[in-house]
Amino acid sequence: MALEEYKKEFIEFMIDCEVLRFGDFVTKSGRRTPFFINAGFYRTGAQLRRLGTYYAKAIRDAFGLDFDVLFGPAYKGIPLSVATTMAISGDYDVDIRYCSNRKEIKDHGDKGILLGSPIRDHDRIVIIEDVTTAGTSIGETLPILRAQGDVNVLGLVVSVDRMERGSGSKSALKEIEETYGMKTTAIVTMKEVVEYLYNRTYRGKVIIDESLKQAIDAYYEQYGAK
């Protein structure tokens, strides 16, 4: 199936922002990897505005826009939830509330653990994160949401599905689906990234050549989800 135009644009956007890099890296879990994704490199207003539009498209495709709250867990999820609700409003004329949590509960002024919109009974919520999570963040986020009332968590959207094994043989996103009974989606998967960039010249350079492709294939042979 041909890759949608916005996914191609997003892959190139990640390269331009230096969010997606190729080389020799070690992940937090200790895996040696030929690619690295660091969403902390989205740093300007223009970059966040564009990022929000890509998330908005992915959310519309997976969940539709008939929901109430986009929740971004602290800290990286805070700007993501703001940028994406603004994009949904601007691109689709749908007004979604944004909400995030604080790491420390505030006991004065705007009190409590949440910032942004309050969460009410029967709210339909989509959670937004940066890259594939091992599920730790979701395990911390769901009790916060459910403590606010009788809510319906529709699912999780991330920017990139790394398609690696989680704690078992399945991908981290698939494990989240099975453990928490929620739908997950990503703007792009690493499979789509590799297929799009392999032997393709971008800005005068081949990003994924034969040797890098072999290194990526070997990585997935060892750590890829089954």
Catalytic (active site) residue 108: yes
**From the candidates 7, 76, 103, 106, which is the catalytic residue?**
106
**From the candidates 108, 111, 122, 205, which is the catalytic residue?**
108
Token look-up 């078992």 returns 168
- Burial classification of residue 150, based on how many CB atoms lie within 10 Å of its CB (0-12 exposed, 13-18 middle, 19 or more buried): exposed
**DSSP string covering 137-175, please?**
HHHHHHHHHHHSSS-EEEEEEEEEE--BB-SSSSBHHHH
Catalytic (active site) residue 122: no
SS (H, E, C) 168-226: CCCEHHHHHHHHHCCEEEEEEEHHHHHHHHECCEECCEECECHHHHHHHHHHHHHHECC
Which has the closest alpha carbon to 84: 39, 128, 18, 142?
128
Catalytic residues: 106, 108
